[in-house]
Each structure stands twice: as C-alpha cells, then as structure tokens.
Amino acid sequence: MKRSPMNRSVAIAVLLLPLLLGGSLVGARQNANPANKELTLKEILKLPGKLLSEAKTTGQSGNLKLTGYRVEEVQLPRSVNAVVRGQQIVTDKAWRVSVTGGPFRVRTMPAVIWIDDQVAGYGIENETLSQITAVLFDSSLIHQDGVVSLSYGEYEEGRVRLSPALQLKPEGENQ
C-alpha cells in the first residue's frame, strides 16, 4: 500500500509534536527555576556588601554638591553573565560605587560614575535623590588611590571629582 506525501507529513508531525512540546516544557521549567534567572539591578542594589572604601568630604564638592562616596564588594547569590572590556564573563561578584550629595536632579543625560578616567557605570538615583549608585563587574577599576567622580553624560570636562582618593581597607578588616 502506497502512502501519500500528505499522510507521511501528518505521521511525522504526530511523532514530533510530543517531543517538541516536551522540550518546550523542560525549557519552561528551567526558566522558572530561580537558579537560572538573571539577577536584576534592583536585586543587586539590595544585597549586603563588604565595605572596601568610604570617604566623606569636608564640604560640598562642585555644583553637584557631592559629599562622599562608598565602594562595596557584593557577593552574588548566583553567577551572572556580564561584559567586561568587551569580553563576556561569568562572575559571582559585583562592585557597588555610591556617590552621596545632592539632592540630585533627574536629568535627560544619565548620571555617570567614573574611577580615574574610566566610566565605572551609569548611576541610579535613590528615592530621596541623595545618592547615585553604579554596579560594575570589572574589579580592575577598584584600586588604591583611584579617584571617584560624577558627571551627567560621558563628558570628561563635566566631571566633579571627589577627594580623598580610594583608600582600600586591608583584607579582613571589618566594616
């Protein structure tokens, strides 16, 4: 008995459909697993951090009225994919750099936190507009005597620098 091409296509579809649906369900279950879910920036901002450096200025710095900074190392609850210097990496650590002062105005240009002459990250204002925080994954930016500054947009000439420079706490020193 000769089968038509239509019957053959239906038979293949009937055999493959359960496999396709089963694979989709496995994928859906994996995506529903919190261990496979990417961390959000909001979640990273709420995680506890280990204090690496903190400084308060004696007065307000520049037109942005900066009063200090805080640098923390954050142990992530699971590994994340990140891009560092153009390379895709997997890491379980992040660094939070927070600049205090203000009140900061929300602007059309993003707040940019710098360390030395490198953009560390784009900042996020807190609810009271008294702090701007950037999360970064490049540990090489966090170094002794690094200079923290803030600008709106990536314009170097618009940066307001904070002093003193980063003074990293010795390993094992408590917060």
Do 26 and 108 belong to one domain? Answer: no
Do 25 and 46 belong to one domain? Answer: no
Which residue from 72, 44, 46 is spatially nearest to 166, judged by alpha carbons?
A: 72
- Cα angle value 63/98/48 (rounded, 5°): 160
pLDDT of residue 60: 67
Per-residue pLDDT reduced to its tens digit, 55-65: 998 766 667 88
Domain presence at residue 110: yes
pLDDT of residue 24: 34
Cα–Cα distance for residue pair 67/57, rounded to 1 Å: 5
pLDDT of residue 55: 94
Per-residue pLDDT reduced to its tens digit, 12-28: 443 433 433 443 333 33
pLDDT of residue 4: 53
The reply to whether omega before 103 is within 30° of 0 (cis) is yes
Do 13 and 89 belong to one domain? Answer: no
Is residue 52 within 8 Å of 168, Cβ to Cβ? yes
Is residue 150 within 8 Å of 123, Cβ to Cβ? yes
Could you tell me the residue range of the domain that residue 85 belongs to? Answer: 41-161
How would you classify residue 153: left for phi > 0, otherwise alpha for psi between -120 and 50, otherwise beta? Answer: left
Domain presence at residue 32: yes
Do 142 and 99 belong to one domain? Answer: yes
Give the count of domains, the chain.
Answer: 2
